[in-house]
Structure 1
Amino acid sequence: MLEKALSRSIRLICLGGVTLGMSAAFAQTATPEIQKVTVTGSRISSPNAESPSPLQVLNAADIAQSGATNLQELLLENPTMGTPAISRTNSNFSTASAGVATVDLRNLGIDRTLVLINGRRVVSGLPGSAAVDLNTIPTDFIERVELLTGGASATYGSDAVAGVVNIILKKNFNGVLADAQIGGSEQGDDAKRKLSVTFGTSSADGASNIMGHFGYSRQGAVYSKDRDISAVDQYSTGALSGNVDELFQVTRPFYSSFAPQGRFFHDTGSYTYDAAGNPVPFSTNGSATLPASGFNRSEFRTIAVPTERYNFATSGNLALGENHSAFFEGNYASTSVTTKLEPFPLGAENIYVDGQVPAELLINGALVRNPIVPQYLYDRISDTNGDGLRDYYFSRRISEVGTRGSTAERDTFRLASGLKGTIKDWNYEVFGVYGSTKEAQSSAGQVNVLNFRHALEAIPGADGTPMCADATARSQGCVPINVFGFNTISPAALKYVSAPGSLETKTTQKIIGANISGEPFQLPAGGLGVAAGYEWRKEYSSSTPDALTQAGLNAGNATPPTEGEFSVKEAYVEARVPLLKDQAFAKSLSFLGAVRVGDYSTVGNTTSWNGGFEWSPVADVKFRATRALSTRAPNINELYSPPSQDFPQVEDPCEGVTATTPGARADACRAAPGVMANINANGAFTLNQSDIQGVSGFNRGNPNLAEEEGRSTTVGVVVTPRSIPMLNKFTFTADYFKIDIEDAIVSTPRQYALESCYGGGNTSFCNFITRRPTAIGANSAGSLEFVDTAVSNSGGLGTEGVDVTVAWADNVGPGRLNARLAWTHLLDGYDIPLPGAERDPWEGEIGAAKNKGSLSLGYKWGKFNLTSNTTYIGESALDNVFLAGFDAAPGSVKVKEKVYNDFQLTYNLRKEVDLYAGVDNAFNTKAPPIITGLPGNTTGAETDAGTYDPIGRRYYVGLRVKM
């Protein structure tokens, strides 16, 4: 990997050098310093620019003092951030996204947060999505990160419904800066290694500059078995008993019933095998008289996936005369992630539709007993599916195949280049961007179900030795498989049934754009600021699993390939109109507005806008208010995903209906021929266990999706009392925000589709449902065969709250103290799954605490600099829909607030050499026990590992040298 990464980075740097012709740069005349700047939230350049919308900024010092190897780690401490959909600690069970690092402003979804680099878009790190992988952005190459909360689509385009994360890279850097760091948890895992070198040089006149960066980091694995809370499989006692008072009590162990020695079902019960190979009763958890014979999955699971990254970045600026320059910025990131989880749990239903394995075969008209089936089982089974053959059901952990997991290699490349400058006081920029992300994933631990079926169906050979019954299968290497007991699968049989998997993905992004800004004329209160621009963008994505996975023949769900693209042309105009200046009760008053129109190849025309006011009655106080309409066009997955198989848990609304049951629901059920046949046979519509557990369905995209629209309102105040001597180093901001998304792009809830189809007054949802017309195998007539779901514009989503920030810095004693507090209080948060459905509130639930805060303190004294960051996550409740199933009131079952403290001490060894040491989660705050069976649980962690720290106290030391 290192050789490949170095080769790609050299090409990247060379490409940047060719783009600018840097060797000729150093003879140019110095470009005069331009006093106009641009801030996130506006494209207008103006003196002393401030953001027209709520903005929080993290600078390079904040990043360095956090010790973070990944920007996500620092951003998650900001209270405006929701729980990430994907992080290193909650993605071990993910298929195409393990180890990816995303951000989610306001808990509105990762596809509604727009991530930019220097104000320009970044290629996605997830196939089919717009979400950016922060693994690809080197932390030590970042100058600052600007967080704009609230709709910003009029300024930046689609996807900025919740806000913008604008990452500003360093520029005009001279010299060499090296940073090396090692660390790990106090448990001896989560080993961290980091090395980065940043270098740059400028021309003699300072007009041109080129920079480069190399970074390497590795974060080691953390396994479930190495934390007391997750070392043994467990389950919520209350979730099992239905007692709300026992939800946080633990039934432990609660082993899986899929055991390595197998569990075998006969006509009157089930049994397993002990270590000596004797049949014994099966028990998942054990009792006073019966030992546990299940399987501890936690022995193999991962809390934090090991992640290795190589990052290369380069940027440059070449002066082309006095007022013009060429620029480029590029980066290449190579990321390797490894997941690990328990061996595959195989059930007979994975191989046979009805879950019944024949213990006899019909060969040339005669019944032949399978010699692999033990006599103990053979004597206790009969024909249960009507085919005339004795059959049985089994479940077994295929431990001989080994642990499941995957290794994913991701490569992201991005190059932006263009021209910028001034023409008669107008600033212009013309640019092009190309980005691509490729992933190659290999996985193990699955089996080929067709081969497994052939291997299960054995007959005696000529010499009495078992052989596969199917002659074609024998010619292809079939070897009979023995699943009865510990380690009974032979190496030859294992080779025949094993099915390694693969996944290849590719995402590309192409952009051409231009911006212009200036002040065309002066008004009595100041210059009229105007910006306008155009952008063409094309996005492409493909995801191709191996052939067995596509067909659903590796004992998993069928996952077909996905491929699609779209293009968009957008134009915008923005204005800042000064209305009053230096008047009574109006030190300044300005109007701000922007409009963006787009033409998508998929959804057609879109329009976004925002408008607002900034009013300073006096110099030290500013009030601001904005109203915006933001749009988000559907991504490639939402548009083009073909049907992929799933096995949902649903309740059939027709169960129990008789020929005389009154009501619209019963009438709709009886209209289905299979349901009526079932009623005629049984007196009431009746389901067996196979019917309940055998429901399948497909998830699919929708090429007819329209854009969703988010309406946001922000009202705030900024207080900077510079005229008061005692408070001239103090800043206070408070902002109210409200975001409501109409026509939100969501997947139709399956249970809602069932209820709507059968008596709910919307028969269009019946298109998602397929029932069996007659009894098939072990399944009853009229039972549900498929319940599908598709993406639609039928939902709503919103949030409301208040952000408060307080900052102060001044000399205290012999040193200087810096303090900053950021706090977010949620007033509302909701989902509406479908039109007419009731709101599902989520504010105050786990992952969306009503109160979140971050307090940063720093004290610099001579050669010492001590910093701390305290993160507060308020008291949070279990999901209200889950609690409703226990007849419990929303918010009645909660986990306590959590406080995390991080510290770093830096000592200046000499002028440009710093030695630093830090500790994260210094007081070893334990994550709350959100255990298996409770909503919000992260499999393998026994908590919500995206919201809370599942690892514990961690230490690191590092050395930073500037030359």
Structure 2
Amino acid sequence: MHRNSGKLGHIFVREASAAALLAGLLTALPAAAQTASADQAVEEPDNGNDIVVTGSRIQRDGFDQPTPTTVLGATEFRQAAAVNLQQALNELPQIRNSVSANQSIGNTTSGTAPVELRGLGTSRTLTLVNGRRFIGDNNLNFVPTNLVERVELVTGGASAAWGSGAVAGVVNIILNDKLDGLQLGAETGISSRGDGFRYRLDGAFGTSFAGGAGHFMIGAEYLKDEGIGVSGRDDRPWFGAGLVNIGGGQRELQPNVDDLAPITFGGTVLSGPLAGQTFNPDGSLRPAGPGDFFSLYDTLIVGSPLDRLGSYARLSYDVGDTKFWVDAAYGRTKVNQPFFPDPASSVLLFNVSATNAFLSPAIQQQLADAGETSFTLGRMSRDAFLLRFDAQRETKEIAFGVEGSIGGGWTYDAHYSHGELDSNSRFYNSSIPANFLRAIDAVESGGNIVCAVNADADPANDDPACVPFNPFGEVAPSADAVNYVTGTQMSKSVSKLDSVGVRLQGDPFSLWAGPVSVALGAEARWEEQSESIGELDTAGVFGTPIFNDPLEGGFNVKEAFVEALVPLVKTDGIDVEANGAARYSDYSLSGGIWSWKIGGTARLFGDLLLRATRSRDIRAPSIGNLFAVNSINIRPVVDNDSAGRDADPDYDSNPTATIFSGGNADLVPEVAKSWTVGGSYSPSFVPGLALSVDYYSIDIGNAIATPDAADITAACAAGDTAACDRIIRDGTGTITTVYALAQNIAKFETSGFDLEMSYRLPLSSGGSLNFRALATYVDKLITDTGSTRRDVSGNVGDSVLSGLPKWRGIFSVSYQSETLGVDARLRYAGGGQFNDQLDIVNGDIGARVYLDLGAQFHVGEKFTFFTNVKNVFDRNPPLITTTYSAHYDVVGRYLSFGAKLKL
């Protein structure tokens, strides 16, 4: 196949400049829930349940664990006014907003909702529900938010406690399993521009029976989000911006760049005497003008639609000191959205016969007079090849277990779970180049326009299905012709997770400072995935193949762990405890590996808690890492192998390219070494005030990574022929396609500080004022691929993968009484460099502060009405070059309101 996709343009993002503002903000305002007393951060009572610290397998009242933990409750969920739990979490400063409705517009991540702590990738954050792994691959779309009691974030390594994947931390979602009565809710929202409409309906019911020995609950949530279409680009700033080479090695961010010029939607003649002219819808020609050209992103929607359902049920029964329980969950997400016009080179730039029957006689005569037998046409065929992504994901899971106590103060729990995730994906309107080349070779036969293969006297050339395709002018091709040159790519997959675990805890003996607590246990899980693809996918007929080879694979792991809490000093004013844990994991593919943690706390005079943790954490390769077939993404790339190519004026060193990535069965687990050092302070002379600061440092070696396209080009420039073989260039030397496979070649290093403060001030009127602030400073975020080493902290352009502002933070203040609640929240996203590897004359990006307001009205004990306005002042993002950003609000002002009923 001739791979010549032309210049698919440059596209980047927006961000802000230096960010010291938040440091001053935090010194003046409250911040807080990294303390062990996590209940301070929860707005509503937890129904009498003990709050168990997620970073440890030891459950003991008064245990100050050494790993920092942040707790979110009803207040934060309501203020976020998000479509799912993930989007509420994405606003936390420790979390990188790697996937959202505005970032999955041209990506198969649409419909998923993972969490990414520290900018280290979603696979290095372990998500749990009620302390257990769940099927869904870190997709929080399946969790019904109306049943969430709180979320605990362990912002440090926790593999010794919870196993693989807890390198950056753990997100443990605690559901309300003591629900009593009936709860109903409804909510709707829309942007101030009249788009982005969504609504949500939810309900839950719980009751006790058998004199309180038994309890049953069930709940569900349904959300419909219409997304924001292409028209939403018109009244939002910078949705056409780009990075332009202005000479002398410098570049400039410009607000409107037509990257695909001179290619047009109707087709532009690129050779011969008619070069530079474009076809009108009626097939006539005129000179192409600025209004005809466009960026690839001009064809994209602004926000992905989403249709999701989440449900959960639980039945428990107490027999003496033993509780038996069974859980069941069902979730479903649907996405159906335009993707982008198929960028396959053979349907983007192609030769057309000068005697093509769809050309007018006048144009045919012009070409004949010039002695031309053919010409090159550049056409972005959104009328025929506008890809549409249709995906449905469905999860089903059941778990059952037992928990109780035995003699001598020992407690135990055990569980088994089985879950399945069914995923069906379709890409409609995918180009079939072989059919397209036959269809555009149109001739006249018997007074009709037919495909040339059907006009040939040789029956072997016949293709009875061929329908001639008219490429001269947008909407010129017939529906039958479009059907002939397109097909549907399809994939069906089933993922399965079986998990079993048992834990035993007790105090086997005492030391001078108190009892030693020990928790030990064993776990095992089996993961597998199988996939099938369509007949046309198997035949390899598509111009931009997405589903190439079906994925098939699995693994199992058997683990044992032990954790101990050892009191060292206990006096009237000083309590010192040491905490250590170890886990041995035996993987069926890569063998055995250890993870461990050692830490300690010192509580001084009741007010000050000091803590430190050192851990060795692991992340085993997932089924996708091991066995995944190629996936596709289109994004800007930086060509680090540009030497000698600048001689061609059409060469682009920063193009938008197609990137294929896939798995590698020879991968081994990653190993991370982590430090956390800090503490919290709750002064007894200021009741309700809590302050916290923690330093973190995470170094990951042997990391599994799909190399960045820029890294592959750098390796090629350094003489790596294998890297060169993974890069495809067009005739100008511009990159069109990069193939990247997962490898154990990378290293990641990150460090920084987390700050929190909270303050609750009771008022004489009976209400209270509540203050909370959270902030994260990222000192470094280094990716080392072996060929290049780069610190992306302070880099905020969208082409910089995993880039993060140095500072992010949230400050909120609220007033709560029995009848009224009002709150205000400031969200701060720091600035930085668009891309510090490039000389960009206006690459300093400014910070942004967003104001959100909310109110709640309680009518008696049954009804609550609420409203939220996000981005009240409709603050524009900085100058960006794509339709999305991981750091800044591109939607604008958004209004929502709803009601809740409790019976």
Structure-2 residue corresponding to 1:898 = 848
1:490 aligns with 2:478: yes
* In 2, Cα distance between equivalents of 1:591 and 1:694: 52
Shift of 1:257: 4.1
Shift of 1:441: 2.8
Residue 67 to residue 249, structure 1, CA distance change in 2 (3 Å): closer
Q: Write the letter of the residue equivalent to 1:422.
A: S
Shift of 1:160: 0.6
* In 2, Cα distance between equivalents of 1:557 and 1:390: 32
- Contact between 2:241 and 2:253, CA under 8 Å: does it hold in 1? no
1:416 aligns with 2:399: yes
* In 2, Cα distance between equivalents of 1:752 and 1:610: 34
1:197 aligns with 2:209: no
- Contact between 1:45 and 1:518, CA under 8 Å: does it hold in 2? no
Shift of 1:574: 0.6
Shift of 1:567: 1.1
1:509 to 497, 505, 521: 497
* In 1, Cα distance between equivalents of 2:112 and 2:124: 17
Structure-1 residue corresponding to 2:777 = 825
Unmatched 5+ stretches in structure 2: 1-46, 798-802
* In 2, Cα distance between equivalents of 1:109 and 1:862: 42
Q: Write the letter of the residue equivalent to 1:805.
A: E
Residue 357 to residue 690, structure 1, CA distance change in 2 (3 Å): farther
| TM-score normalised by structure 2 residue count | 0.85
Structure-1 residue corresponding to 2:698 = 739
Structure-1 residue corresponding to 2:90 = 76
Structure-1 residue corresponding to 2:326 = 328
2:744 to 793, 808, 813: 793
Structure-2 residue corresponding to 1:803 = 754
* In 2, Cα distance between equivalents of 1:448 and 1:809: 63
Structure-2 residue corresponding to 1:672 = none
Residue 370 to residue 924, structure 1, CA distance change in 2 (3 Å): closer
- Contact between 1:715 and 1:735, CA under 8 Å: does it hold in 2? yes
* In 2, Cα distance between equivalents of 1:329 and 1:588: 39
Larger radius of gyration: 1
Q: How does 1:273-288 map to 2 (within 5 A)?
A: 273-274=279-280, 277-283=283-289, 285=290
Residue 164 to residue 558, structure 1, CA distance change in 2 (3 Å): closer
Q: Write the letter of the residue equivalent to 1:409.
A: Q
- Contact between 1:142 and 1:169, CA under 8 Å: does it hold in 2? yes
* In 1, Cα distance between equivalents of 2:515 and 2:410: 13
Residue 243 to residue 517, structure 1, CA distance change in 2 (3 Å): farther
* In 1, Cα distance between equivalents of 2:53 and 2:888: 33
- Contact between 2:253 and 2:843, CA under 8 Å: does it hold in 1? no
Q: How does 1:545-584 map to 2 (within 5 A)?
A: 545-557=533-545, 559-560=547-548, 561-582=550-571
| TM-score normalised by structure 1 residue count | 0.80
Q: Write the letter of the residue equivalent to 2:612.
A: A
Structure-2 residue corresponding to 1:953 = 893
1:602 aligns with 2:589: yes
More off after superposition, 139-148 vs 295-304: 295-304
Secondary structure, counterpart of 2:103 in structure 1: coil
* In 2, Cα distance between equivalents of 1:482 and 1:850: 53
- Contact between 1:261 and 1:397, CA under 8 Å: does it hold in 2? yes
Structure-2 residue corresponding to 1:590 = 577
1:359 aligns with 2:353: yes
Shift of 1:501: 3.2
- Contact between 2:259 and 2:296, CA under 8 Å: does it hold in 1? no
1:864 aligns with 2:820: yes
Unmatched 5+ stretches in structure 1: 1-32, 125-130, 286-291, 361-368, 383-387, 658-683, 772-777, 932-936
Residue 764 to residue 179, structure 1, CA distance change in 2 (3 Å): closer
Shift of 1:543: 4.2
1:720 to 660, 675, 682: 682
Residue 332 to residue 588, structure 1, CA distance change in 2 (3 Å): same
- Contact between 1:233 and 1:297, CA under 8 Å: does it hold in 2? no
Structure-1 residue corresponding to 2:244 = 239
* In 1, Cα distance between equivalents of 2:487 and 2:629: 23
Secondary structure, counterpart of 2:419 in structure 1: strand
Shift of 1:232: 8.8
Structure-2 residue corresponding to 1:641 = 628
Q: Write the letter of the residue equivalent to 1:732.
A: L
- Contact between 2:618 and 2:671, CA under 8 Å: does it hold in 1? yes
Count residues with an aligned counterpart: 842
Shift of 1:522: 1.4
Shift of 1:800: 0.7
- Contact between 1:800 and 1:827, CA under 8 Å: does it hold in 2? yes
- Contact between 1:326 and 1:420, CA under 8 Å: does it hold in 2? yes
Secondary structure, counterpart of 1:867 in structure 2: strand
Residue 612 to residue 296, structure 1, CA distance change in 2 (3 Å): closer
Shift of 1:744: 1.3
Q: Write the letter of the residue equivalent to 1:800.
A: S
- Contact between 1:503 and 1:543, CA under 8 Å: does it hold in 2? yes
Structure-2 residue corresponding to 1:123 = 135
Shift of 1:220: 2.1
1:626 to 604, 613, 623: 613
Structure-2 residue corresponding to 1:365 = none
- Contact between 1:87 and 1:102, CA under 8 Å: does it hold in 2? no
Shift of 1:604: 1.4
Q: Write the letter of the residue equivalent to 1:359.
A: S
Secondary structure, counterpart of 1:446 in structure 2: strand
- Contact between 1:459 and 1:467, CA under 8 Å: does it hold in 2? yes
1:401 to 378, 384, 387: 384
Secondary structure, counterpart of 2:536 in structure 1: helix
More off after superposition, 635-644 vs 422-431: 635-644
Secondary structure, counterpart of 1:222 in structure 2: coil
Secondary structure, counterpart of 1:155 in structure 2: helix
- Contact between 2:440 and 2:451, CA under 8 Å: does it hold in 1? no
Shift of 1:246: 7.3
Shift of 1:203: 2.7
Shift of 1:221: 1.9
Q: Write the letter of the residue equivalent to 2:691.
A: F
Shift of 1:206: 2.7
Q: Write the letter of the residue equivalent to 2:438.
A: H
Shift of 1:598: 0.7
Secondary structure, counterpart of 2:141 in structure 1: helix
Structure-2 residue corresponding to 1:174 = 180
User: C-alpha offsets along residues 27-46 of structure 1, whole Å, 9 cap, x if unaligned?
Assistant: xxxxxx99976320001121
More off after superposition, 105-114 vs 918-927: 918-927
- Contact between 1:866 and 1:905, CA under 8 Å: does it hold in 2? yes
User: C-alpha offsets along residues 95-133 of structure 1, whole Å, 9 cap, x if unaligned?
Assistant: 3x2132121111111000000001111213xxxxxx411
Structure-2 residue corresponding to 1:22 = none
* In 1, Cα distance between equivalents of 2:774 and 2:640: 48
Residue 697 to residue 848, structure 1, CA distance change in 2 (3 Å): closer
- Contact between 2:792 and 2:804, CA under 8 Å: does it hold in 1? no
- Contact between 1:687 and 1:783, CA under 8 Å: does it hold in 2? no
Structure-2 residue corresponding to 1:211 = 217
* In 2, Cα distance between equivalents of 1:717 and 1:691: 48
* In 2, Cα distance between equivalents of 1:377 and 1:231: 41
- Contact between 1:258 and 1:345, CA under 8 Å: does it hold in 2? no
User: C-alpha offsets along residues 551-604 of structure 1, whole Å, 9 cap, x if unaligned?
Assistant: 553331353122221111111111111111016xx6111111111111112221
Q: Write the letter of the residue equivalent to 1:177.
A: Q
Structure-2 residue corresponding to 1:911 = 861
* In 2, Cα distance between equivalents of 1:553 and 1:714: 53
Secondary structure, counterpart of 1:548 in structure 2: helix
Shift of 1:842: 2.6
Structure-2 residue corresponding to 1:89 = 102
More off after superposition, 227-236 vs 532-541: 227-236
